[in-house]
Amino acid sequence: MRGVFGGAHLGLTSETVTRTLTFLQGEGMILVDGKQITFLELDKLEMLAAQIYST
């Protein structure tokens, strides 16, 4: 994921951003192509977000 924007403005390290994007792409939820991110499985992303933020 070379060239991924730094996550400093989000309070994240670039390593965390890269790791997260790599995970999401590996799960088939997104496609990263250069600077473009395509969301493929919005329902899965929503379920993941709900699990994370339901605490």
Token pair of 25 as six digits: 């792409």
Residues 1-55 have pLDDT tens digits of 555 566 667 788 888 888 999 999 999 999 999 889 999 999 999 999 999 888 6
CA distance 45 to 29: 7
pLDDT value at position 4? Answer: 54
pLDDT of residue 25: 97
The span from the CA of 26 to the CA of 30, in Å, is 8
CA angle 44, 49, 40 (to 5 degrees): 30
37 strand-pairing partners: 32
